[in-house]
Chain A
Amino acid sequence: MDEKNHRPAVSFWASAREVFGFFFFLGRRTGKTRVFFLLGMIPAAMGVLVRILVAGRAEDYAAVFNEILMLVYVTFYIVILPLFYGTSIVAEELEGRTLPYLTSRPLSKPGIFLGKYAAYTSLMFLMVTASLALSYFIMNGHRLGDPELYLTFLRYVGVLGLGLLAYTALFAFLGTFLRRAILIGLMFGFGWENVIQYFPGSTQRFSLVHYLKSLLPRQAASGGKFALLLFRLEPSPPAAAVVSLALIAAVFVALACWIFRTKEYLFEE
């Protein structure tokens, strides 16, 4: 064998970087990403319709965004996207039987997992941010000269970004060892999360959405039907919420990396 062709193994971070590059590129190509992107444009489309068809005060438009559109983002969009992409990290390699292409390379398995996690989370972050930017600035178009507007926008982006990190980590973890991770994910994301967040006291803290809602800016209560977003919320301090979400993401990613490294994956014959 020609020794000049022998290369050292790719380091953990280099593995993650190369895998990130490949799957971020691949993820942008797939039809599924286009579907989810279009889905994310629905809140923006709604915002346009509201501005055109509904005569109202500027505060009303802002309230529509804060209480209605954000409800869609926080309780629906950033749960369904991670459910699909998170569980796909391992599942699509098994279903498509493409896992050998990755595991027969000098790439560390945790690096492979982290690279795909980062690629899909980045992709989702871009989709969510684009949608959020459109709907937010459409509904708050009367305040474009106000710097506070942009700070609030960045805060929303941060909240949704943290949510994506945490949910994707959780669902990706489920996907590393469960064959039907989607069922458990649906039950958690739309069952447990929807119910437990309204429980009083510390029980709320056993849901991810509690921490996300704790980070949302407190708007003056409109008293309308759609104060649901903050309904019964006993918020955690913002710093604690950020740390909790980051920790949850880190722990589940670490567990998933460990399972991916040690588990043997067999294709269904």
Chain B
Amino acid sequence: MATIREKGYYHWDGRLEERRFPWWPITRTGIQLAFKKKGFRFLFAGQFLPPVIFMAVIYASENLENFKFMVRGSDRIISITPGSFKFFFTFGPVVFLCVMMLVFAGAGLIADDLKHNSLQVYFSRPLRKRDYLLGKMAVVLFFVLIVTLVPGLLLVLSKLVLSGSLRFFLEYPWLVLSILGYSVVLAVVFAFYTLLLSALNKNSRFVMIMIFLTYIFSDILSALLRETFRTPYMILVSIRANLEQVGAFLFAQKSAYPVPVGWSFVVLAALCALSAVVLNTKIRSVEVVK
């Protein structure tokens, strides 16, 4: 039996299914765009240098006999403990490299959307504000976790493999949780921090400067205030010092500064809260120009 189908418009009878993770395309695009920049690829590769060095130290610690001729009093010097992991994660240059990576991967996340009036394009889709922000945040979370959590877990694994026993793990069973916890804290704080600055200006070059400047200047200012007013509480001004305090707590180590670690948690939480307020205000689909 033959049929002649009508070629006119007819209603689609299918079911429209909402994407389960509406923020995922935003995250995927942000990551792809970051990797397109040559300077960023160079910086990203550089992030893995400290873990490689740390892994070499772990190797040396397990093969002390072979390296004894290089090291005097070696039994005490190369000994891998949670303190070593805390040192690795909170070491100034390592965190600084992370910030530099954010300068290039994160500066334009919202700034470029503001510049090109893309927010209207985003919100004309079935996308909520929180999906948009989550998608952007996930870009930063991805990059920070991949250079902290992943190397951290691999370092624990390499320690276990190279030592040939589970002794290290049994002695410090909470270490993996510490690594996870600190990596997440670092990633979340940096995500809020980066997006806050990215949302404040349309010029991504200016945002790059501000991400770097705010981080470094907070540290400098903290040091100056500490020496001027002779009080250790001025470390609360420094983002780096607060992260170090939190790191010491999570790795069950002695704090670097005689300041209750709760204050550092409060400061970092306040930073995240401020960022959330600013992002909620700045991200809207319609811009009012006065």
Chain B nearest CB from A246 CB (Å) reads 26
Main secondary structure of the interface of A (DSSP, over half): helix
Chain B nearest CB from A30 CB (Å) reads 9
Q: Are B228 and A84 in contact (CB under 8 A)?
A: no
* Stretch from A21-29, A148-156, A182-190, A229-237 at the B interface: A182-190
**A32-B206, A183-B39 given as contacts; is B227 within 8 A of A68 (CB)?**
yes
Q: Are B209 and A84 in contact (CB under 8 A)?
A: yes
Q: How far is the CA of A32 from the CA of B210 in the complex (A)?
A: 10
Q: How far is the CA of A263 from the CA of B227 in the complex (A)?
A: 49
Chain B nearest CB from A88 CB (Å) reads 7
Q: Are A83 and B209 in contact (CB under 8 A)?
A: yes
Residues of B within 8 A of A88 (CB): 205
Q: Are B205 and A53 in contact (CB under 8 A)?
A: no
A192 at the interface (CB under 8 A from B): no
B220 at the interface (CB under 8 A from A): yes
B201 touches which of A32, A71, A180, A183 (Cβ 8 Å):
A32
Main secondary structure of the interface of B (DSSP, over half): helix
A130 at the interface (CB under 8 A from B): no
Across the two chains, which residue of chain A brings its CB closest to B202?
Answer: A31
Size range of the chain A interface in the assembly: 20 to 34
Residues of B within 8 A of A57 (CB): none
Q: How far is the CA of A35 from the CA of B209 in the complex (A)?
A: 12
Chain A nearest CB from B231 CB (Å) reads 10
Contact with B along A77-96 (1 / 0, CB 8 A): 00010011001100110010
Q: Are B206 and A53 in contact (CB under 8 A)?
A: no
Q: Are B228 and A80 in contact (CB under 8 A)?
A: no
**A54-B229, A68-B227, A225-B227 given as contacts; is B209 within 8 A of A180 (CB)?**
no
Residues of A within 8 A of B206 (CB): 32, 84
Contact with B along A29-68 (1 / 0, CB 8 A): 0011001000100100010011001100000000010001
Residues 159-190 of A at the B interface (beta carbon under 8 Å): 180, 182-183, 186, 190
Across the two chains, which residue of chain B brings its CB closest to A80?
Answer: B213
Residues of B within 8 A of A180 (CB): 37-39, 104
**A76-B216, A183-B104, A190-B216 given as contacts; is B205 within 8 A of A84 (CB)?**
yes
Residues of A within 8 A of B203 (CB): 32, 92, 95
B180 at the interface (CB under 8 A from A): no
Chain A nearest CB from B160 CB (Å) reads 36
**A42-B221, A64-B228, A72-B220 given as contacts; is B209 within 8 A of A80 (CB)?**
yes
Residues of B within 8 A of A83 (CB): 209
Q: Are A68 and B217 in contact (CB under 8 A)?
A: no
**A32-B206, A84-B209 given as contacts; is B100 within 8 A of A186 (CB)?**
yes
Q: How far is the CA of A186 from the CA of B208 in the complex (A)?
A: 10
B212 at the interface (CB under 8 A from A): yes
Q: How far is the CA of A35 from the CA of B39 in the complex (A)?
A: 27
- Please give 20 more A-B residue pairs, beta carbons under 8 A apart, in addition to A50-B228, A182-B103, A182-B209: A32-B203, A39-B217, A42-B217, A42-B221, A46-B228, A54-B228, A54-B229, A64-B228, A68-B228, A72-B224, A80-B209, A84-B205, A84-B206, A88-B205, A180-B37, A180-B38, A180-B39, A182-B208, A225-B227, A226-B227
> What residues make up the interface of B, taking CB atoms closer than 8 Å to A?
37-39, 43, 100, 103-104, 201, 203, 205-206, 208-210, 212-213, 216-217, 220-221, 224-225, 227-229
Instruction: Give 19 CB contacts A-B under 8 Å.
Output: A31-B201, A32-B203, A32-B206, A46-B221, A53-B229, A54-B228, A71-B224, A72-B220, A76-B216, A80-B209, A83-B209, A180-B37, A182-B205, A183-B39, A183-B43, A183-B100, A183-B103, A183-B104, A190-B216
